[in-house]
Structure 1
Amino acid sequence: MELRRMDEASLEGLLAVAVDDAAPEEVMPPVAGPPGWTPERQEAFRAWHRARRAGLAGPLRESTYAVTHDGETVGAARLAVRGSGEVLETGMWVARSQRGRGIGTAVLRVLLDEAARTGARVVVADTTAQNAAALAALRRNGATLTSGEDTSDVHAELMPRAMPSTPPPTASP
């Protein structure tokens, strides 16, 4: 499993995976209009990732990565600065056909290592109580989970590793 910083080639590969193997609401913010992968929704997907290409030091203070497994793009991950920069938020999605293989757990491990390289003291993530795969990946990476009192929302806090064990995300060739 590897993370690749988003560039135009990886973005088009990621969009192809999303269209073939994920629903829009699983992989991107909502877009008005009819359901499904409309041309407008596909362009919004591209625009969302392009806007984050400057990375954590850019104006949006967010980076997105293509997740590859055995050389194929299988999903996306992100890190975003929250507040002063000591806190990073993370999120990810994995193509439906690739779920259940431990990819999410491995991605989160690499993201925690990247957070350590930036000097972050904590990484946060939000999911729902129904997302068993996300909860399992969070637990496997040592997350402290807090459930919402009146909702099914779950908030996770993770500690970046002091000594990263994985190489940093790569740029696509």
Structure 2
Amino acid sequence: MVAQVVDLRRVNQDSLEDLLAVAVADAAPDEVMPPVAGPPGWTAGRQEAFRDWHRARYGGLAGPLRESTFTIRYDGAVVGSARLALRDGDDVLETGMWLGRSHRGRGIGTAALRLLLAEAARAGARAVVADTKTHNTAALGALRRNGATLIAGHGTAEIHAELSPPSSAPTANQ
């Protein structure tokens, strides 16, 4: 169990630079954002694309992209990001997350996913889905510990997870 407190906070202008700093210092671009053309690494253009991607989601689930992003905080410090996005109408949400490499393997992802499921319940979701790969054992563990049904892709390394939001759970900070 995580000894320190894990919480989620909606990404906003005040937290965006902290999130980017964690990404640059402790993750590869392809782990934390959609692909961007150009040379590898955290170029100035890729950092600006990271900011733009998160700013476009400030409107949350009710915004034009129908997606919310959150900072994952561990013992008060930003250590990664998580998201919820509306899919398949208004009652299925997709989730995904990343943690800086130095924060993996501590149960933070499991705790953050539990908080995301609570957010999904408050949003009225009947289900939450996630996609990962068979080699991502940390994600698979967090999904299993939160009660996911895992469905393997036929002949691929793809895993589709389906989760049910709880009827009541802790609240993420806005």
Deviation at 1:99, TM superposition (A): 0.3
1:36 corresponds, among 29, 33, 41, to 41
Name the CA distance, whole Å, in 1 between partners of 2:119 and 2:14: 22
1:112 corresponds, among 117, 125, 132, to 117
**Which range is displaced more, 1-10 or 26-35?**
1-10
Name 2:107's counterpart in structure 1.
102
Structure 1 runs not aligned, ≥5 long: none
Q: How many residue pairs align between the two structures?
A: 169
The within-5 A match list for 1:101-140 is: 101-140=106-145
Deviation at 1:4, TM superposition (A): 0.7
Name 1:156's counterpart in structure 2.
161
Name the CA distance, whole Å, in 2 between partners of 1:153 and 1:83: 20
Name the CA distance, whole Å, in 2 between partners of 1:30 and 1:84: 26
Name the CA distance, whole Å, in 2 between partners of 1:144 and 1:81: 19
Q: Percent identity?
A: 66
Name the CA distance, whole Å, in 1 between partners of 2:86 and 2:65: 8
Name the CA distance, whole Å, in 2 between partners of 1:160 and 1:153: 23
**Does residue 47 in structure 1 map to residue 52 in structure 2?**
yes
Structure 2 runs not aligned, ≥5 long: 1-5
Name 2:85's counterpart in structure 1.
80
CA-based RMSD of the aligned residues comes to 0.6
TM-score when scaled to structure 2?
0.96
Q: Secondary structure at the match of 2:115?
A: helix
4+ long deviations beyond 2 Å:
none
Q: Which letter maps to 2:109?
A: G
Name 2:173's counterpart in structure 1.
170
Deviation at 1:83, TM superposition (A): 2.1
1:5 corresponds, among 1, 10, 13, to 10
Name the CA distance, whole Å, in 1 between partners of 2:123 and 2:14: 26
TM-score when scaled to structure 1?
0.96
Deviation at 1:150, TM superposition (A): 2.1
